[in-house]
Amino acid sequence: MTTYITERIAIDPDICNGKPIIRGMRITVQTVLEFLFAGTTRDELLYQYPALENEDIDACFEFTIEMMNRNYFIKDIKHVA
């Protein structure tokens, strides 16, 4: 079952191992951000992924910013030998 986090970002345990995806497609938020971080321009990315829309890229940034607004805790895991 697909759960939409925003209008464009969804999580579906049956698609891409449950990673956040764009509009139910097999394009992950991580993939989009990695391409952009590596220097791919928006235009190049939209050309490589014709189903992707400019607003999808914006949604990836918005999603990432929202994730950074959350509190995270690091658990100490004890290893049993």
- Judge whether 46 lies within some domain: yes
Give pTM, 2 decimals.
Answer: 0.81
pLDDT tens-digit series, residues 26-63: 999 999 999 999 999 999 999 999 999 999 999 999 99
SS (H, E, C) 18-65: HCCEECCCCCEHHHHHHHHHCCCCHHHHHHHCCCCCHHHHHHHHHHHH
Identify whether 78 is part of a domain.
no
Number of domains within the chain = 1
Q: For residue 81, is pLDDT > 70? A: no
Residue 73 lies in a domain: no
Domain that holds residue 26: 3-68
* CATH code at position 10: 1.10.10.10
* Residue 79 belongs to a domain: no
